[in-house]
Amino acid sequence: MNNPNDFSILEREISTFFRQFALTILHQKHIDVNDKRAFKEALIEYYEQIYPAFSQTEVFKRCFEKEHHEQMIEAYKENFFLLLQGTLPPALEKDQNIKP
């Protein structure tokens, strides 16, 4: 998932989930997304809520223990790691070159 143009639809959906999850919290707490320290401090109490929220998504329901399960896990880990670093997952537009 290094180049935004190489994102699959699955990766785009997972990135969007993580981005929206983080932005919701950061906006509620009035945190500047460019302030990595404040970003990490704001999210620290919410990390345990990510998986329960993610497990309710359509992408999780489509992939859990199915064909794209491993790809879903890898995308989940990469996006979770970005949040731990104080970085928002990339915003992916529909018009970018998305692999099926």
pLDDT at 80: 97
- Report which of residues 60 and 1 the model is more confident about: 60
Q: Is residue 75 part of a domain?
A: yes
pLDDT band at 41 (very low <50, low <70, confident <90, very high): very high
Domain, as residue range, for 21: 9-84
pLDDT, average across residues 32-59: 95
Distance CA 88, CA 72 (A): 18
Q: Is residue 22 part of a domain?
A: yes
Report the percentage of the chain scoring pLDDT > 90.
74
Q: How many distinct structural domains can be found in the chain?
A: 1
pLDDT, average across residues 1-26: 81
Report the percentage of the chain scoring pLDDT > 70.
85
> Does residue 18 carry a pLDDT above 60?
yes
Q: Is residue 64 part of a domain?
A: yes
* C-beta of residue 21 within 8 angstroms of C-beta of residue 33: no
3-state secondary structure of 43: helix
Query: Residue 6 — φ and ψ, nearest 5°?
Result: -100, 10
